[in-house]
Amino acid sequence: MNPLIPIVLSGGAGTRLWPVSREGHPKPFMKLPDGQSLLAKTYLRAMGGDHVADVLTITNRDYYFSSKDEFNRVVEQSSCNVKGSFLLEPFGRNTAPAIALGALWARELHGPGATLLVLPSDHLIQDARAFHANVREAVVAAGEGQLVTFGIPAASPETGFGYIEGGETLGTGLARGIRRFTEKPSLAKAQEFVASGNYFWNSGMFCFTADTLLEELAAHAPQMHQALMACWENTWQASDDKWRVLEIDAQTFGDVPDLSIDYAVMEHSSRGVVVPAAFDWSDIGSWNALGALLPEDEQGNRTQGDTVLIKASNNLIQSEDRLVAVLGVDHLVIVDTPDALLVAHKDHVQDVRQVVTELRTMGHDCYRTHRTVSRPWGTYTVLEEGSRFKIKRLEVRPGAALSLQMHHYRSEHWIVVSGVAKVINGEREIDINTNESTYIPAGHKHRLLNPGVVDLVLIEVQSGDYLGEDDIVRFDDHYGRV
Amino acid sequence: MNPLIPIVLSGGAGTRLWPVSREGHPKPFMKLPDGQSLLAKTYLRAMGGDHVADVLTITNRDYYFSSKDEFNRVVEQSSCNVKGSFLLEPFGRNTAPAIALGALWARELHGPGATLLVLPSDHLIQDARAFHANVREAVVAAGEGQLVTFGIPAASPETGFGYIEGGETLGTGLARGIRRFTEKPSLAKAQEFVASGNYFWNSGMFCFTADTLLEELAAHAPQMHQALMACWENTWQASDDKWRVLEIDAQTFGDVPDLSIDYAVMEHSSRGVVVPAAFDWSDIGSWNALGALLPEDEQGNRTQGDTVLIKASNNLIQSEDRLVAVLGVDHLVIVDTPDALLVAHKDHVQDVRQVVTELRTMGHDCYRTHRTVSRPWGTYTVLEEGSRFKIKRLEVRPGAALSLQMHHYRSEHWIVVSGVAKVINGEREIDINTNESTYIPAGHKHRLLNPGVVDLVLIEVQSGDYLGEDDIVRFDDHYGRV
């Protein structure tokens, strides 16, 4: 049996889901009402397949540590014995280059018959049993040399999706031939497609062997194939028992055409087939879609967090840590985060990306970062910034360490409020227990470690003339950030 | 010339202006878009009168220090040489008892002919010149033994105000007789009143001599008069060159009937007159009224703070420190504060008090306190609360001191981020400069003082099993809070 290698594509900013989704914390990392992120759900889906021993994540290198953390949590929770592989892009280059590099890697490591299951990480599928039954169908077709797409039976005339027109049923399985791919259609066209009953939304999920894909890529996009071979030769690899990381070379990657897998291969190949999805599927494309996951009250309101509703109906309210009171309003989407609030009419949720565009134009930081920022060692949250001071809460995971570093302009007071810290401060190395503190003068080399088995929570009060994140000189780092 | 004694009545929760107005920070303390509070504006108005040497504030004792701070700021800014007197109520008892006690005090201190100018502290009057011209008219009438009300020409059929029907013009001035007082009317009645052109809104502002008021009170509300005499005998007084404070005895005050000055005196007296206001007037009764003070953009939006508006019209948005993005909405009132958000339709702003009622029922703290809390020595702001820790920013005014205190359950880390602190910590007394810190173990007697001439800003990290505000034992306090 050939191994099944899920390839999780983790890209896409999800700007329509601002202010929760941001450039530094994009849609795959958003937690759904059940507390699990879309990426975690995708990993669970990936690991649930038969004969899965290795999951490849293809993502921007900025999301490496966050993705790895998410992967690790899923492995721990599900007790799957699966290796985590990460193919890191220096920048986005659409789906064809990413998937083809994944195929090159799979062929080299797992043989030419390795079967790839391509899964975008920002979709929601709740019926795992039906999904895996479909995947088994797809694996059989892939084994016969076909390029399988998963088609979602078009139930409504969405104009934001690509469509696949289904052809003849092939053999005894569910797979059908493909008559045609259609880019995002007009509403009239979309309505026609839905009425015909023979059209599917192109879900972006695929299944094929590494060899089939690479053969078809060479045949239909020879220039890309050639550029990718050069890029693959320059891709840097490292691995141990548990993890494998591949860093794509930026220079040669830049020479690869920016094309989708549909455009580069699927639309030209005669080997494409579609497996109609028997499972539910949502791309969580807007706040309305996300809201649908919350229970509805008698007035049609869906809420999460601390809320008071008076004379209010059909609203979606999501609050993280503040009270949201609404009065006499309906059909609103209200999304509250520590540093930014969105109030939108439900009919306009598709335009949330315009807010993000506007914020980017303004140079406003909150299109990009949240108040809580992920780091390889845990997270930090800016609690307050004032004149000449900044207060942060740091959460450091067990066994993790910040880099050995030094600041020119700021000194730092550290107070441990939970767990225990090991601190290197100039020449000294000390343990700081809960409710103890230390002081790092400007110019001192220092390092913070969590030697314990529970999270370390530390309050940092910075003081100085300049408090920018870029006042940092790193001398040593466990995460290669020197 | 008899002295003119403004009596500033500072009560009223202003629940329709939640979430900015709260029980612990009521409407008079709300800052308008120009940065000045309604109370400060009232003090400026009071001090602008002729022959004013003493301003009496009647308020709940909980608001003593905040009112005094506000008074002090106005005195400093305007360089008026005015004494501040404070008559402190243990609880609210409507306007008649408050004003009558003010009259007793004025008669005793400034003689029976002392003229009182009663000013509610939550109204906005922008035309000071016209206001003072009206006051001069009123003072003349008061000198002739009349009870003067200031009537606002009824320009629209408001159903939330009491109305005064004007009578004959008296003498050569503006003052007119009063035909009738009418409580809050029906809409039909109110429309009739406005059409007649002879009706005024009862503004709650009055002018009379101490003697006239007390005589009329004795005549028309003898039981109240008697109860007030007993209460006055038990009122505790203290004063120095600059300040005078009177604390009303709770027991005898509890025996005084709870009545408005209109109901107890004005509606029964034949000595009432009305001076039609030549000045603008607003009771800032709702967010719509407050919003009207902000400039309007081309789409009719009025905003304060960091906002992004897309396809939005006729909204009022007020934000303190977060980004508020709105999209495709109109006629909304959005008021954002650090711990609570209001989103209401403009047609429902009168019902904001229902939100407050609901919060009170829920036992939710944010009907009562803000994240920043006033103290006699300055303010504290809770930046974050977590398991076993709480972080506050303390701002201590020059020369101010916290009480000498001790906590049983919590220890405190103090880091000075601005200014200089003097700290008594157990047996030691030390100075802590900016960017220095100290530690107060649980059970240690301690005190924090600001010996400097600029504000002291200090970050406090509390640590312990119990972090409630009530874990405090006070040994000595400059503000009488032991």
Alpha helices (H) along B144-286:
187-196, 210-220, 222-233, 250-254, 261
Please identify, among A339, A362, A385, the residue that sits at the C-terminal boundary of a domain.
Answer: A362
Q: How distant is the Cα of B453 from the closest Cα of chain A, in angstroms? A: 18
In this structure, the answer to whether residues A292 and A271 fall within a common structural domain is: no
Per-residue pLDDT tens over the stretch A83-138: 999 999 999 999 999 999 999 999 999 998 899 999 999 999 999 999 999 999 99
A459·B457 Cβ contact <8 A: no
**Per-residue pLDDT at B176:** 94
A391·B386 Cβ contact <8 A: no
From chain A, pick out residues whose CB is under 8 angstroms from the CB of B413: 413, 415, 437
If DSSP codes are grouped into helix, strand and coil, which group holds residue A169? strand
Number of independent structural domains in chain A: 3
User: In chain B, whose CA is at the least distance from the CA of A18?
Assistant: B325
User: In chain A, whose CA is at the least distance from the CA of B367?
Assistant: A323
- Residue span of the structural domain in which A65 resides: 4-276
A459·B434 Cβ contact <8 A: no
Q: What is the mean pLDDT of the segment spanning B253-261? A: 96
- Closest partner residue to A345 (CB to CB) among B328, B348, B464 is B328
B189: tokens are: 């009645």
d(CA B46, CA B52): 8
Q: How distant is the Cα of A446 from the closest Cα of chain B, in angstroms? A: 18
Q: Are strands B340-345 and A323-327 parallel, antiparallel or unpaired?
A: parallel
**Per-residue pLDDT at A293:** 94
Q: What is the mean pLDDT of the segment spanning B71-90? A: 92
d(CA A199, CA A120): 21
In this predicted structure, the answer to whether residue B210 has a pLDDT above a threshold of 90 is: yes
pLDDT band at B174 (very low <50, low <70, confident <90, very high): confident
> Bridge partners of A478?
none
Closest to A214 (Cα-Cα) out of A202, A226, A205, A203: A226
- The residue among A322, A352, A438 with the most chain B CBs within 10 A of its CB, best to mutate, is A322
If DSSP codes are grouped into helix, strand and coil, which group holds residue B5? strand
A463·B415 Cβ contact <8 A: yes
In this predicted structure, the answer to whether residue B172 has a pLDDT above a threshold of 80 is: no
Q: What is the mean pLDDT of the segment spanning B411-437? A: 94
A69: tokens are: 């953390």
Residue corresponding to tokens 């028309």 = B220
Per-residue pLDDT tens over the stretch B137-169: 999 999 999 999 999 999 999 998 999 999 998
Instruction: Please name the residues in contact with B250: beta carbons below 8 A apart, sequence gap of 6 or more.
Output: B90, B91
CATH code for position A415? 2.60.120.10
In this predicted structure, the answer to whether residue B431 has a pLDDT above a threshold of 80 is: yes
Q: What is the mean pLDDT of the segment spanning A7-29? A: 92
B19 Cβ under 8 Å from any chain A Cβ? yes
pLDDT band at B318 (very low <50, low <70, confident <90, very high): very high
pLDDT band at B11 (very low <50, low <70, confident <90, very high): confident
Give the mean pLDDT of chain B.
94
User: In chain A, whose CA is at the least distance from the CA of B410?
Assistant: A435
Residue corresponding to tokens 């008069």 = B225
In this predicted structure, the answer to whether residue A171 has a pLDDT above a threshold of 80 is: no
In this predicted structure, the answer to whether residue B482 has a pLDDT above a threshold of 80 is: no
In this structure, the answer to whether residues A269 and A138 fall within a common structural domain is: yes
A152 in a domain, yes or no?
yes
In this structure, the answer to whether residues A328 and A407 fall within a common structural domain is: no
- The percent of residues above 90 in pLDDT, for chain A, comes to 87
d(CA B388, CA B130): 57
B461·A459 Cβ contact <8 A: yes
pLDDT band at A241 (very low <50, low <70, confident <90, very high): confident
Q: Quick check: B113 and B145 in contact, CB under 8 A?
A: no
From chain A, pick out residues whose CB is under 8 angstroms from the CB of B358: 308, 310
Per-residue pLDDT tens over the stretch A380-389: 999 998 888 9
B70 in a domain, yes or no?
yes
pLDDT band at B171 (very low <50, low <70, confident <90, very high): confident
Per-residue pLDDT tens over the stretch A263-309: 999 999 999 999 999 999 999 999 999 999 999 999 999 999 999 99
In this structure, the answer to whether residues B167 and B249 fall within a common structural domain is: yes
Alpha helices (H) along A254-364:
261, 287-291, 352-362
Q: How distant is the Cα of A375 from the closest Cα of chain B, in angstroms? A: 21
- Closest partner residue to A348 (CB to CB) among B327, B340, B439 is B327
Q: Quick check: B382 and B365 in contact, CB under 8 A?
A: no
**Per-residue pLDDT at A4:** 94
From chain B, pick out residues whose CB is under 8 angstroms from the CB of A354: 310, 327
Q: What is the mean pLDDT of the segment spanning B23-31? A: 93
B345 in a domain, yes or no?
yes
Q: Is A361 exposed, middle or buried (0-12, 13-18, 19+ CB in 10 A)?
A: exposed
Instruction: Please name the residues in contact with A188: beta carbons below 8 A apart, sequence gap of 6 or more.
Output: none
**Per-residue pLDDT at A411:** 94
**Cα-only R_g, chain A:** 25
From chain A, pick out residues whose CB is under 8 angstroms from the CB of B351: 310-311, 327-328
User: In chain B, whose CA is at the least distance from the CA of A305?
Assistant: B340
The 8-class DSSP code of residue B2 comes to P
**Per-residue pLDDT at B117:** 98
Please report the residues numbered 431 through 450 in chain A whose beta carbons come closer than 8 angstroms to any beta carbon of chain B.
434-435, 437, 439
More confident of the two residues A349 and A387: A349
Give per-residue burial for A202-236: e unless 16+ CB within 10 Å, then b.
bbbbbbbbbbbbbbbbbebbeebbebbeebbeebe
The 8-class DSSP code of residue B177 comes to E
B359·A325 Cβ contact <8 A: yes
User: In chain B, whose CA is at the least distance from the CA of A341?
Assistant: B324
User: In chain B, whose CA is at the least distance from the CA of A360?
Assistant: B308
Q: How distant is the Cα of B329 from the closest Cα of chain A, in angstroms? A: 6
Q: Give the 3-state secondary structure percentages of chain B, helix then strand then coil, rounded to 5.
A: 30, 35, 35
B373 Cβ under 8 Å from any chain A Cβ? no
* CA-CA-CA-CA dihedral for B186, B191, B193, B199, to nearest 10: 100
d(CA B416, CA A160): 55
B282 in a domain, yes or no?
no
User: In chain A, whose CA is at the least distance from the CA of B346?
Assistant: A328
CATH code for position B223? 3.90.550.10
In this structure, the answer to whether residues A215 and A300 fall within a common structural domain is: no
B290 in a domain, yes or no?
no
B239 in a domain, yes or no?
yes
A366 Cβ under 8 Å from any chain B Cβ? yes
Give per-residue burial for B349-360: e unless 16+ CB within 10 Å, then b.
bbbbbbbbebbe
Measured in whole angstroms, the distance separating CA A39 from the mean position of its chain's CA atoms is 5
From chain B, pick out residues whose CB is under 8 angstroms from the CB of A435: 411, 463-464
B347 Cβ under 8 Å from any chain A Cβ? yes
A282 in a domain, yes or no?
no
A340·B328 Cβ contact <8 A: no
For the beta sheet containing A389-396, the strands, ordered from the edge strand earlier in sequence to the opposite edge, are A372-375, A378-386, A389-396, A456-464, A410-418, A437-440
User: In chain A, whose CA is at the least distance from the CA of B459?
Assistant: A461
Please identify, among A340, A362, A384, the residue that sits at the C-terminal boundary of a domain.
Answer: A362
More confident of the two residues A240 and B208: B208
Per-residue pLDDT tens over the stretch A297-312: 999 999 999 999 999 9
- The residue among A367, A390, A413, A457 with the most chain B CBs within 10 A of its CB, best to mutate, is A413
- E strand or H helix at A437: strand A437-440
In this structure, the answer to whether residues A70 and A168 fall within a common structural domain is: yes
d(CA A473, CA B222): 80
**Per-residue pLDDT at A133:** 96
Instruction: Please name the residues in contact with A440: beta carbons below 8 A apart, sequence gap of 6 or more.
Output: A411, A412, A413, A414, A425, A446
The Cα angle at residue A473 between residues A443 and B439, in degrees rounded to 5: 45
Closest to B276 (Cα-Cα) out of B176, B206, B205: B176
Q: What is the mean pLDDT of the segment spanning B41-60? A: 93
- The percent of residues above 70 in pLDDT, for chain B, comes to 100
Give the mean pLDDT of chain A.
94
d(CA A337, CA B188): 46
In this structure, the answer to whether residues B139 and B69 fall within a common structural domain is: yes
d(CA B334, CA B326): 9
- E strand or H helix at A102: helix A95-110
From chain A, pick out residues whose CB is under 8 angstroms from the CB of B463: 415, 417, 434-435
Instruction: Please name the residues in contact with A41: beta carbons below 8 A apart, sequence gap of 6 or more.
Output: A32, A124, A125
A329·B345 Cβ contact <8 A: yes
d(CA B21, CA B15): 7
Q: How distant is the Cα of A407 from the closest Cα of chain B, in angstroms? A: 15
Per-residue pLDDT tens over the stretch A175-207: 999 999 998 999 999 999 999 999 999 999 999
From chain B, pick out residues whose CB is under 8 angstroms from the CB of A352: 327
More confident of the two residues A359 and A12: A359
A458 in a domain, yes or no?
yes
Q: Quick check: B24 and B373 in contact, CB under 8 A?
A: yes
Q: Quick check: B227 and B252 in contact, CB under 8 A?
A: yes
B310·A19 Cβ contact <8 A: no
* Amino acid letter, residue A350: Q
- Closest partner residue to A345 (CB to CB) among B325, B327, B344 is B327
Q: Is A138 exposed, middle or buried (0-12, 13-18, 19+ CB in 10 A)?
A: buried
In this structure, the answer to whether residues A272 and A292 fall within a common structural domain is: no
In this structure, the answer to whether residues B398 and B346 fall within a common structural domain is: no
- The residue among A337, A435, A455 with the most chain B CBs within 10 A of its CB, best to mutate, is A435
Alpha helices (H) along A244-362:
250-253, 261, 287-291, 352-362
Please identify, among A241, A276, A311, the residue that sits at the C-terminal boundary of a domain.
Answer: A276
In this structure, the answer to whether residues B239 and B159 fall within a common structural domain is: yes
Residue corresponding to tokens 């030209």 = A268
In this structure, the answer to whether residues B119 and B232 fall within a common structural domain is: yes
**Per-residue pLDDT at B51:** 84
A351·B387 Cβ contact <8 A: no
The Cα angle at residue A476 between residues A471 and A477, in degrees rounded to 5: 90
Please report the residues numbered 102 through 141 in chain B whose beta carbons come closer than 8 angstroms to any beta carbon of chain A.
none
Q: What is the mean pLDDT of the segment spanning A371-394? A: 92
pLDDT band at A417 (very low <50, low <70, confident <90, very high): very high
B152 Cβ under 8 Å from any chain A Cβ? no
**Per-residue pLDDT at A50:** 83
Q: What is the mean pLDDT of the segment spanning B242-254? A: 95
A354·B411 Cβ contact <8 A: no
In this predicted structure, the answer to whether residue B328 has a pLDDT above a threshold of 80 is: yes
B361 Cβ under 8 Å from any chain A Cβ? no
pLDDT band at B85 (very low <50, low <70, confident <90, very high): very high
Q: What is the ipTM of this complex?
A: 0.91
In this structure, the answer to whether residues B37 and B77 fall within a common structural domain is: yes
B40: tokens are: 């400060």
- The percent of residues above 70 in pLDDT, for chain A, comes to 100
A322 Cβ under 8 Å from any chain B Cβ? yes
d(CA A448, CA B286): 52
**Per-residue pLDDT at A251:** 95
From chain A, pick out residues whose CB is under 8 angstroms from the CB of B383: 383-384, 391
Q: What is the mean pLDDT of the segment spanning B266-281? A: 96
- The residue among B435, B439, B456, B467 with the most chain A CBs within 10 A of its CB, best to mutate, is B435
Q: Is the peptide bond before B19 cis (omega within 30 degrees of 0)?
A: yes
In this predicted structure, the answer to whether residue A150 has a pLDDT above a threshold of 90 is: yes
Per-residue pLDDT tens over the stretch B458-473: 999 999 889 988 999 9
User: In chain A, whose CA is at the least distance from the CA of B337?
Assistant: A322
Please report the residues numbered 212 through 251 in chain B whose beta carbons come closer than 8 angstroms to any beta carbon of chain A.
none
